Amino acid sequence: MIFRFRQPSVLPGFGLTLGFTLGYLGLIVLIPLAMAFTQAFHLSWDQFWRTVTAPRVLASYRLTFGAAFLAATINTGFGFIVAWVLVRYPFPGKRLVDALVDLPFALPTAVAGITLAAIYSSNGWIGHALEPLGMKIAFTPLGVIVALVFISLPFVVRTVQPVLEDLEAEVEEAAASLGADRWQIFWRVLFPAIRPALLTGFTLAFARAIGEYGSVIFIAGNLPMVSEITPLLIVSKLEQYDYSGAAAVSVVMLVISFLLLLLINLLQRWSRIQRGWETVI
């Protein structure tokens, strides 16, 4: 009889660490999500459909996902500019500016919401100047976008910044020496290199903005059908002891968020494949 022993792994402890990883993820992520689905299944299909397609709920979906998408798009552009300045240009106070980028990470969201509401209200520093121009930010859907831009900016900057640091300036100089103008250098040299990082930053900013609650409720106004976000609607249902209704709306948010993130990840994979083919060619 021949006994065959499994060849030892170069990195021992895989079985133990894999079991710990799956158990930890199941305890922290999968079990709570499964409980949301279980609570939602207490409703019949008709009750579930009426709950998640009520006019007030649909309006909150449009505001939440629309504002999150706009905020992530804005931060993708301006976050790249901020990262570019921090990487490529020396200037006085650079370390302070670099530290300020992380401020939304450390600042409590409620403090951020109160501060933004005070600044952009009709008697605030910025709101007072914009009101004669017919622009009202606080207590409107525009205020929701402002709050989401504030809290999601670091995700784009911190994702793009390391890629720009690794990208040598000599590559741009070589392209310029071959006759390429600034737009051609950006589009054909810089953008292919940072495109995966930009998509990743957009994904993180979008995901963060979808679930934001604390900084939004103080500046949104929270008017049903106008400036009410879905997380606030879920909290309102919980306060009314409508646990099944809150779980139903949460499940819809979870499914839509997962599908959107899956789509963005597929785009990231396609972008990497395209970049690989361009490198081979």
Whether 34 and 119 share a structural domain? no
Whether 76 and 211 share a structural domain? yes
CATH number of the domain to which 91 belongs: 1.10.3720.10
Whether 102 and 231 share a structural domain? yes
Q: Is residue 95 part of a domain?
A: yes
CB proximity list for 176: less than 8 A, separation 6 or greater: 185
Whether 34 and 54 share a structural domain? no
Q: Using DSSP, state whether 19 is helix, strand or coil.
A: helix
Q: Is residue 8 part of a domain?
A: no
> What tens-digit pLDDT sequence spans the chain (281 residues)?
555 555 556 666 677 888 888 888 888 888 888 888 888 888 888 999 999 999 999 999 999 999 999 999 999 999 999 999 999 888 898 899 999 999 888 888 888 889 998 899 888 888 888 888 888 888 889 999 999 999 999 999 999 999 888 887 778 778 888 787 888 888 888 888 888 889 889 988 998 899 888 889 889 888 888 889 999 999 999 888 898 999 999 999 988 888 887 887 787 777 667 666 655 55
Task: Specify the number of domains making up the chain.
Answer: 2
Whether 70 and 88 share a structural domain? yes
Whether 95 and 223 share a structural domain? yes
pTM for the complete prediction?
0.84
Q: Is residue 1 part of a domain?
A: no
Interaxial angle between packed helices 243-280 and 55-88, expressed in degrees from 0 to 180 and rounded to the nearest 10:
40
Q: Is residue 7 part of a domain?
A: no
Instruction: Provide the domain limits for residue 35.
Output: 13-42
Q: Which of 113, 96, 114 is nearest to 151 (CA)?
A: 113
Q: Is residue 258 part of a domain?
A: yes
